[in-house]
């Protein structure tokens, strides 16, 4: 019997790093090493020192290998999937000049509005990049840096996304992929390249940016001697281009560009996202028209306030996260960090509908409902942009794939099921972002198409299937009415 070979798929998220040691033949998750991150900032600021990500990657890989009990010599490839949009600025030696601005840093909202206006409105941006700038996008953060921290902006020799920074540490090669690059708003999904006019407008040059690989599974180099020593891995193993976290989750699910998904995906994490895989380039100002990691497209909508916001409400109420009941007349929009969809970057939370008999458990349930409503309404926008009517019974009856940390929570699952009225599929494969990165690593090591690799790995996955329940239209309409009436100033802007 040939010796077992494994790849390592890295999920470098907002809060932590996970390193999944994965059997290249079967996709069996042999071990997952974990290490936390530190996020700093008050108000709209959210920052992390990129060196924290590197140290966490080293710790997570070491923990994963130790847990697996395997020799490092069994590892044949590694790939990183990272949180999207973060702005990493490096000096000429490749060292961070300052903490990275994270995707959920909302300080660049004025710069986003200015950029939209300068190019002629949302439609012009959608035509060029596929995405309208909001405070989450990297281009707006770079503009903010130039206006608010000009010394560091002037000293910047290279600009990277979080996953680019880590991939470069692994292979010594400045590389990214179309998926993560498409979240910058200086990469064009129409041309499949950086947009020179937008770069000039932003004060960037191509020489400051990583080269864009063909796909996230492209082998862009080999693990360097210094990285191998830091990680305890063999030098020379394959390093894939990697991708963004959402693109990697799609790969982990085995979803490619066969057309619009029969099962749209809803991810419940720090943020809430909905996405679908498509061969057709989406063009809608209501969503992000990202590229996929496999050369297709990944239309996506994202909300800022999901599991973290609901956990904060539970903490304020002194309740366990599952000590919740339906909200009754109470409506709570948990926009604790501003909001991306809808685009309300300076908003705060909104609570209305209190009665004498409102219970703490109902307030927590209302937080779940508000967060779930926001991401489910974003799903409706995505379906419309892809030419489907959310009210069509055939479309509304399609199962919804539920992933992310919230998919493991009883109250999250039941709230989504009640407000959507859809059947749900909770994939049995855990750690989908890391699993997708592992498939990209396997591809870079000679394993073939990463989506096909992941699909083969998932054949033995035991998915949980939940039937549709009667849709709670009363709660849906109540929350929608509050949100539609609430102007940005009312929400705290």
Whether 163 has a binding-site annotation, put simply, is: no
Roughly what angle, to the nearest 10 degrees, separates helices 432-442 and 245-252?
80
- For 98, which DSSP code? S
CB 31 within 8 A of CB 67: yes
Which one of the listed residues 245, 337, 343, 380 is annotated catalytic?
245
- The CA dihedral of 63, 64, 67, 68, to the nearest 10 degrees, is -150
- The CA dihedral of 46, 52, 53, 57, to the nearest 10 degrees, is -150
CA distance 388 to 274: 15
40 class by beta-carbon count within 10 Å (0-12 exposed, 13-18 middle, 19+ buried): exposed
Structure tokens at 41: 């900032």
CA distance 102 to 72: 32
Buried b (16+ CB within 10 A) or exposed e, 459-469: eeeeeeebeee
Residue 380 a catalytic site member = no
Quote the Cα angle for 339-342-346, to 5°.
Answer: 35
Strand partners, 193: 188
CA distance 372 to 39: 25
CA distance 181 to 173: 16
| Nearest Cα to Cα of residue 287 among 111, 105, 487, 130 | 130
CA end-to-end span of the chain: 64
Whether 362 has a binding-site annotation, put simply, is: no
Q: Spell out the SS3 assignment of 306-357.
A: CHHHHHHHHHHHCCCCCCCCCCCCCEEECCECEECCCCECCCCCEEECCCCC
Residues 6+ apart with CB under 8 A from 7: 22, 24, 75, 76, 77, 78, 79, 438, 441, 442, 445
Buried b (16+ CB within 10 A) or exposed e, 332-364: bbbbbbbbbbbbbbbbbbbbebeeeebebbbbb
Alpha helix locations (H) across 10-97? 50-68
CA distance 293 to 249: 10
Annotated binding site for substrate: 84-85
Annotated binding site: 84-85
Catalytic site residues?
245
């Amino acid at each position: 019997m040939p010796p077992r070979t494994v790849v390592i798929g890295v999920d470098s998220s907002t809060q932590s790093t996970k390193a999944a040691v994965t059997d290249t033949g079967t996709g069996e998750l042999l071990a997952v090493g974990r290490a936390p991150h530190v996020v700093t900032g008050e108000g709209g600021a959210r920052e992390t020192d990129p060196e924290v990500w590197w140290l966490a990657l080293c710790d997570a890989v070491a923990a994963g290998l130790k847990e697996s009990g395997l020799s490092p010599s069994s590892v044949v490839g590694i790939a990183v999937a990272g949180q999207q949009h973060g702005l990493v600025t490096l000096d000429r030696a490749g060292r961070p000049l300052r903490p990275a601005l994270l995707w959920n840093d909302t300080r660049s909202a004025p710069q986003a509005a200015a950029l939209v206006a300068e190019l002629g409105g949302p439609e012009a941006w959608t035509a060029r990049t596929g995405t309208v700038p909001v405070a989450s996008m990297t281009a707006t953060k770079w503009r903010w840096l130039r206006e608010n921290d000009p010394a560091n902006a002037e000293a910047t020799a290279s600009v990277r996304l979080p996953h680019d920074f880590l991939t470069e540490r692994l292979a010594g090669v400045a590389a990214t992929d179309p998926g993560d690059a498409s979240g910058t708003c200086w990469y064009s999904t129409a041309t499949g390249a950086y947009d020179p006019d937008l770069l000039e407008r932003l004060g960037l040059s191509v020489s400051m940016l990583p080269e864009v690989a063909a796909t996230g599974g492209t082998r862009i180099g080999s693990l360097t001697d210094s990285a191998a020593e830091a990680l305890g891995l063999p030098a020379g193993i394959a390093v894939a281009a990697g991708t963004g976290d959402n693109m990697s989750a799609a790969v982990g699910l085995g979803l490619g560009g066969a057309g619009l998904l029969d099962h749209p995906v809803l991810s419940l994490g720090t943020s809430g996202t909905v996405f679908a895989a498509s061969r057709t380039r989406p063009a809608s100002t209501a969503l992000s028209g990202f590229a996929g990691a496999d050369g297709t497209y990944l239309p996506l909508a994202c909300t800022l306030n999901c599991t973290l916001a609901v956990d904060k409400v539970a903490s304020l109420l002194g309740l366990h996260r599952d000590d919740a009941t339906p909200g009754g007349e109470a409506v709570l929009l948990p926009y604790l960090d501003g909001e991306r969809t809808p685009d309300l970057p300076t908003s705060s939370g909104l609570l209305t509908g209190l009665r004498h008999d409102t219970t703490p458990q109902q307030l927590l349930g209302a937080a779940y409902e508000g967060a779930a409503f926001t991401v489910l309404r974003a799903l409706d926008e995505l379906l419309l942009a892809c030419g489907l009517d959310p009210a069509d019974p055939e479309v509304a009856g399609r199962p919804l794939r539920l992933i992310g940390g919230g998919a493991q929570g009883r109250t999250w699952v039941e709230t989504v099921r009640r407000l959507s009225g859809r059947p749900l599929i909770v994939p049995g494969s855990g750690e989908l972002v890391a699993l997708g990165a592992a498939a990209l690593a396997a591809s870079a090591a000679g394993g073939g198409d990463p989506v096909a690799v992941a699909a083969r790995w998932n054949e033995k996955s035991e998915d949980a299937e939940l039937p549709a329940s009667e849709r709670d239209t009363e709660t849906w309409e109540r929350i929608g009415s509050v949100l539609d009436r609430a102007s940005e100033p009312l929400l705290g802007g």
